[in-house]
Structure 1
């Protein structure tokens, strides 16, 4: 890979000399730095200077950067450590990540018996919890060939209600006590956009898909503000540790908005948050009264998007498919709303000035939303809003081309491919898989992919995502050669989709996503040279420091400025 040294031309220096001087308060020296520039070129630098407001005033070689630093500026010697722009997760669930840290985690369970043992131990360790919550189970990893049941969960915990979310968050596993509290019986109809899994006699088995989970959720105790603050604190700490300096929160409401503003006001928001209001109901009506919030407290927070859902997830067979599931010929999955209803809600958000970001996983879900966008964009004149499709996971080849033609940003999560490869082709078959997790196809047509993780569905570690994007393999290096490796990204493309293109998807590419003069000093220090290491080891990268707006929010090692 060829690198372009980052230098100021004589003409640029002459122009700068005529302007009022900008003074740096901090200079990062002896860095092995990488960033992208406006021409999408990967450039190297050894020094970075930023002022006391956290804005970059110089980046490049040591001499030219030092020339812009005022006398007495603080100098930090990185001794050759690698510096990158702060990484951006374009699709995560911030409060959900906090919940994952505090609830029962079944993501590592490899069998039903193991999951039940964990549930039993968690219940014993938390006798004061009126409800037991958890997430992360995946029946595909258990090789059951079916969903688990309430009766099986009763064998572990019967005295208290239990609801455990599937790994994708699109199905819940409840015990009998939870089903009874929710009033779910044989006669309970499936709600719109949801399915109650039933046995041969029509009785609920204990698994609730998509909107059916709400039947239990509505009888659970409401979260207190103190609990929400605790979750946010835990989540922000983990996000900083992962090297994420900005996240797009995919679905939030009035309570979360209040906390984000409060944390920004009091210097506690240690990552930038680009918020998406969850749907266009009561929370939207309240939050949208003053219109989209483009920037708050020096770009720490924005609320200018809406997150909606077209369908469910592939693992729980809730993703909507045009043709039936290959491994369940009686099912097409679920479209949450009729076409006209969905388009009407999208139009409401668009006319209010919001970017519309729609979860769509199956090819029918993606087609429904593409059709709606195609009709609504000329009608509302909102193409500049950079509307997005969240996941764009299984798409017909013809519809992939429509993303570029219509101008829709695919917001995709590389680790979904390596997590789903154990069942994806079983679900959709050999033909439809050609349009699934199709990053190369999107990139080759000129689409800009915004990359994320969908945490806590996946780990928030962005290096897991970069590794998956480049290798199409899991951490163990399987499968050999990569899963459908023809759809892999280059390393520079993967780097770009977690930086500049993620920033672009939030209308923030002029202030975030790269280390250039005038942008915020959001950067990370890592323990390896990302662009000279063996791709199979990318997931092993460790973050040593995380800086947001020129302030260190996480650090360890000899250069830790928090000491």
Structure 2
């Protein structure tokens, strides 16, 4: 064993190992955990230069592993963007835009978010565009919604983007238009959002440096919430470049698994699919792992773009039997999954509707029939946002070695759930996130924040919500399908070792065991002695990555 550099003792250590063991002390050397055990046994390993850290009875657990975020976008939002809350009224959003425009140089873009899905019908009106124009003057404006799939822009932005009454809808996207005049109303759905994002990026002269600063800030924020490993859910080439540059400068304090988009993205990235995948090894570093291909099977239920097995509520435009449409055919999806496995990669497939989930499982089933599961890549593919899942499909996750990438911070009662209820019949809308059924079926569940769809990547909100099925924030009453609640130990594993396994990092991190990276956090309470409805108040006192302290509570 290497000479002990650090010994953390007199603690309550939740290891998340396979035996569900508890410990009191750990030994760190060379950035690795080299021993775990009881105080008397571990303290006896100390040498002349060993630093002893008394935990004072505090709780130590593995670093949080966030299986789904958009970290650079989160850092960018923190540093540069207008901040809105999804609970804000239409008038409050307009007032925030007015105030930001008043302090922004003439003609510069004002962009940010997020506005709540409950505003989507109002924002889609021509009269709302006129109100946005009135408060923004000569400034082009772009505002993202709480799903990050849609954008609201003003008339100056439409002009700069090049959208007029004759502009055709992009593939898999829609430019919402006034029914009478045909003019764009300023609401851009799905892939049309990329037109706005590209226009904003063209206006930034130092984009590469801004991306690095955003990436650096994002990891600082993640470390502050105890996150030491994460999967970026849609990693375009500029994001890869920023990650690799930071890591080569020894400034990346976390493991990052990258998901390379196979299709045009919501940000409008040009380099996708094979052209991006072939470059991935150029950006592989010790901590950056470009090991996933990202695919989108559908949109989101709030705008009726999720592919569902049963119809949405009837509307005048879509009629009584509209279920949404998948974005990829099963044969094309089979080809992408087979290609991923040929490249020793995995897929992360965005599916918010139960029809999209079923199609993806069917495609993976086809590939399993000729590749099997022992294909040398670990073979665990991910279905992201597995919230609406038909009961018959739940056992297929384990049978096909598919991980459920969950987004617990966004599903409990709140603005998004209210918007889903407006689109989907209530009895179906509330059968959302069948966590206990997944657990009973032995499915691998991993949790992600989907930040900046949520304001910050605070895992403790999701941990409490998985246990209570209630919104930890005030203002939203009731529980969402409370029969699907989980216990604390199961949830902590979902946020640590399970997520590491789903990302292909379980040999490196996710649990406190000898031979793994010294990635762990000290929290301000014994989680197992805390009332479930107070878990969201948990604070991270310190975060350690590879045996280095990367966060200390102020």
TM score, norm. by length of structure 2: 0.90
Shift of 1:287: 5.0
Q: Do the aligned partners of residues 496 and 339 (structure 1) sit closer, same or farther apart at CA in structure 2, a change above 3 Å counting?
A: same
Shift of 1:169: 0.5
Q: 1:364 aligned to 2:355?
A: yes
Shift of 1:430: 4.1
Shift of 1:196: 1.9
Maintained 8 Å contact 1:253/1:277: yes
Q: In the alignment, what sits opposite 2:185?
A: 205
Write out aligned runs for 1:194-233 (5 A).
Answer: 194-201=173-180, 202-222=182-202, 224-233=207-216
CA deviations on 1:349-400 (whole Å, 9 max, x unpaired) are 3322210110010122222222221222333445632011011121222222
Q: In the alignment, what sits opposite 1:388?
A: 382
Shift of 1:108: 5.0
SS in 1 for 2:193: helix
CA deviations on 1:48-98 (whole Å, 9 max, x unpaired) are 1110x1111111211111122323201112222221110110000111101
Q: 1:82 aligned to 2:41?
A: no
Maintained 8 Å contact 1:109/1:115: no
Q: In the alignment, what sits opposite 1:308?
A: 295
Q: 1:323 pairs with 310, 322, 346, which one?
A: 310
Q: 1:548 aligned to 2:527?
A: no
Q: Partners of 1:529 and 1:34 in 2: how far apart?
A: 10
Maintained 8 Å contact 2:225/2:458: yes
Write out aligned runs for 1:121-270 (5 A).
Answer: 121-127=99-105, 130-140=108-118, 147=124, 149-201=128-180, 202-222=182-202, 224-270=207-253
Work out the number of aligned pairs and report it: 531
CA deviations on 1:97-144 (whole Å, 9 max, x unpaired) are 01221211112552100000001111112226621111210141x596
Q: 1:274 pairs with 257, 281, 292, which one?
A: 257
Q: In the alignment, what sits opposite 2:438?
A: 442
CA deviations on 1:491-525 (whole Å, 9 max, x unpaired) are 11110100010011012222211111111110111
CA deviations on 1:282-315 (whole Å, 9 max, x unpaired) are 4553554377799742xx2211111111111122
Gap regions ≥5 residues in structure 2:
265-270
CA deviations on 1:19-73 (whole Å, 9 max, x unpaired) are xx4321111122222222213x2x332211110x111111121111112232320
Maintained 8 Å contact 1:500/1:509: yes
Maintained 8 Å contact 2:384/2:405: yes
Q: Partners of 2:330 and 2:513 in 1: how far apart?
A: 44
Q: Partners of 1:434 and 1:315 in 2: how far apart?
A: 14
Maintained 8 Å contact 1:85/1:513: yes
Q: In the alignment, what sits opposite 1:428?
A: 424
Comparing 62-71 and 530-539, the one that deviates more: 62-71
Q: In the alignment, what sits opposite 1:11?
A: none
SS in 2 for 1:70: coil
Gap regions ≥5 residues in structure 1:
1-20, 558-563
SS in 2 for 1:89: strand
Q: In the alignment, what sits opposite 1:47?
A: 25
CA deviations on 1:424-480 (whole Å, 9 max, x unpaired) are 333322453465211111111110101111011123001111011111111246766
Shift of 1:253: 2.4
Q: 1:411 aligned to 2:405?
A: yes
Q: In the alignment, what sits opposite 2:531?
A: 534
SS in 1 for 2:35: strand
Q: In the alignment, what sits opposite 1:560?
A: none
Q: Do the aligned partners of residues 128 and 523 (structure 1) sit closer, same or farther apart at CA in structure 2, a change above 3 Å counting?
A: farther
Q: Do the aligned partners of residues 413 and 155 (structure 1) sit closer, same or farther apart at CA in structure 2, a change above 3 Å counting?
A: same
Q: In the alignment, what sits opposite 1:114?
A: 92
SS in 1 for 2:143: strand
Shift of 1:533: 0.3
Comparing 332-341 and 490-499, the one that deviates more: 332-341
Q: In the alignment, what sits opposite 1:493?
A: 490
Q: 1:456 aligned to 2:452?
A: yes
SS in 2 for 1:72: coil
Q: Do the aligned partners of residues 173 and 542 (structure 1) sit closer, same or farther apart at CA in structure 2, a change above 3 Å counting?
A: same
Q: Do the aligned partners of residues 552 and 341 (structure 1) sit closer, same or farther apart at CA in structure 2, a change above 3 Å counting?
A: same
Q: Do the aligned partners of residues 259 and 535 (structure 1) sit closer, same or farther apart at CA in structure 2, a change above 3 Å counting?
A: same
SS in 2 for 1:524: strand
Q: 2:16 pairs with 29, 36, 45, which one?
A: 36
Q: In the alignment, what sits opposite 1:400?
A: 394
Q: Partners of 1:214 and 1:291 in 2: how far apart?
A: 23
* CA RMSD across the alignment: 2.4
Q: Do the aligned partners of residues 112 and 481 (structure 1) sit closer, same or farther apart at CA in structure 2, a change above 3 Å counting?
A: closer
Q: 1:514 pairs with 511, 514, 519, which one?
A: 511
Q: 1:470 aligned to 2:467?
A: yes
Maintained 8 Å contact 2:212/2:246: no
Comparing 200-209 and 447-456, the one that deviates more: 200-209
SS in 2 for 1:218: helix
Shift of 1:272: 1.4
Shift of 1:213: 1.3
Q: Do the aligned partners of residues 180 and 332 (structure 1) sit closer, same or farther apart at CA in structure 2, a change above 3 Å counting?
A: farther
Q: In the alignment, what sits opposite 2:502?
A: 505
Shift of 1:485: 0.5
